[in-house]
Every structure is written in structure tokens, then in C-alpha cells.
Amino acid sequence: MIEAVRGRRLRGQLIYIVLMMIFLFWRLLPLSPGQIIWPGPDLALCLTFAWVLRRPDDVPVLIIAALFFIEDIVLLRPLGLFTALVVMATEAARVREPRWRELSFVIEWLRVALLIAMLMLANRILLIVFVLPAPPLGQMILQFLATAAAYPIVVALARWPLGVKRALPVDGDR
């Protein structure tokens, strides 16, 4: 029994890590060189929230921190700033996950969108406070809207092909 639970968790962690690396690779591809009019969603952030709210034991905080730190390095962001904000946001969601479990998906979507908005706003404020280059406010708002709109799609794709669904209180792996 314990081996099956451990194997499922390791499989979940491996799938999460591989998907995060695919999303990072996708962001590095020069698909539309030149001026970006509509910034795309942060699919890594959507996937992380979806996974934390469905299978919190599959994504320990160290894996989240390591993957987002790698993303900070590769995307040339200030080292650790976005990582720290993502860790704080995901841990806030992880703590509240048992209470959010019974609520409808629309409420979850709104709460995740609020967390993403606070995360992006805190990132922008800290960039401005430390006199670092910050993206234009309009692009940040558009990226927030794209990320919030992509969350249900990421949740649906995580549930259907990957089998990442909410853990029930009666599951033996909780």
C-alpha cells in the first residue's frame, strides 16, 4: 500500500517537473520575434496552482522553488524574487486547500486569479522599489488576464490526460 502511494507521488512529481521544463522551453522559443502585442499566459504558474490544489503532496515546496528559480535564471529575471513570491502564493493556497476542496470550481478560479493578481502586483512593486526594469503596466495586466483565462484550460488538461484530480479526504495517500 505504501509503495503504491509513494510510486504515485513520484510519478506525479516527475510529470510535473517534465511539464514545467516543457513550458520553460516553449517560452524560450522565438515564435514571434519583434514587438509582443499580447503577452501569453504563464502556464507554469497555472500548472503549479492546479497541481497544488489537486494533489498538494505531489509538489513539495522545494520542487516548486527549484523549478521557478531555474526559470528566474533562464529568463533573466531578478534571482529569487518571483520564486519567493510563487512559493508564498502556493503555500497560501496549499494551507487553504482542504477548505477549498468542497467549493465549486468557479470560486477556486476566482481565488487563484486573486492570488495571481497579488503575486504579479507584488512583483511589480518590488521591481519598482529596487529600481529594476519592470514591464509596462499594460503588458502586466494583459498577462494577468491571459493567465487567469488559461487556468481552467490547464486544469481541464491536467485532469483529463494526466489524471490530476482532487484528492478526497478518504484517499489513503493524504
- pTM of this structure: 0.88
Helices (H), 29-136: 43-54, 61-74, 81-100, 105-129
pLDDT tens column, 44-56: 999 999 999 988 8
Highest mean predicted confidence (pLDDT) among 10-14, 18-22, 163-167:
18-22
Reply yes or no on whether the pLDDT at 139 is more than 80.
yes
Note whether 59 and 51 are within 8 A (CB).
Answer: yes
Q: pLDDT higher for 101 or 125?
A: 125
Distance, CA of 125 to chain centre: 20
Q: 45 CB contacts (<8 Å, ≥6 apart)?
A: 86, 116, 119, 147
- pLDDT recorded at residue 171: 53
| Domain spans of the chain, in order of start | 2-29+38-159
Among candidate residues 58, 63, 56, the one with its CA nearest the CA of residue 20: 63
For 136, the grid coordinates are 509596462
